[in-house]
Amino acid sequence: MATTTIFGNFNVVDGMPINGATNGRLTYAMYKTSIYTADLQAALPAVIRCFLPMGAMPFIKDTTVFLYGKVTTSTAKSCLIETVNMFAYPGNPGDANYGDVPAFAPRMCVLGYVNGGVETT
């Protein structure tokens, strides 16, 4: 078993509220984003899922957020980031200077068990 966590700055677009299938009281938002590499030259598509408090609305398009979350991957789809904590940077996303934050590629931490023999030297 392994777990992968991620934290960093993300730009979220296409926020869509979705009601849970079980009772309709559990609501979450899905956003599209990208996970940039350390050199900021390439990116992987990703989807962010964030649970919303009752009556809350998703962030508007092009909101810059800082998030800490867990990553799951699939061979058929984009990476899914399950947020543990996410907050928007203050300001108006429509302002020309909004989102001028330092270039900071997201950081990942992968913990897990590797099955196999151990080579000693």
Q: What is the radius of gyration, based on Cα positions, of the chain? A: 17
DSSP secondary structure code for residue 100 in this structure: -
What is the number of alpha carbons within 13 Å of residue 89 lying toward its C-beta? 20
> Which residue ranges form the domains of the chain, and what is each CATH number?
2-112 (2.40.50.140)
> pLDDT, tens digit, for every residue of 52-68?
887 788 998 889 999 99
Q: How far apart (Å, rounded) are the C-alpha atoms in residues 81 and 34?
A: 11
| Number of C-beta neighbours around residue 40 at 10 A | 10
Q: Is the pLDDT of residue 71 over 70?
A: yes
Going by C-alpha positions, the residue among 22, 17, 29, 19 that lies closest to residue 81 is: 29
Percentage of the chain beyond pLDDT 70 is: 93
Query: What is the reported pLDDT for 24?
Result: 60
pLDDT by residue (tens digit) across 34-51?
Answer: 999 888 899 989 999 999
Q: pTM for the complete prediction?
A: 0.81
Is 110 within 8 Å of 72 (Cβ atoms)?
no
Which residues touch 80 (CB under 8 Å, ≥6 apart)?
46, 47, 48, 49, 71, 72, 73, 74
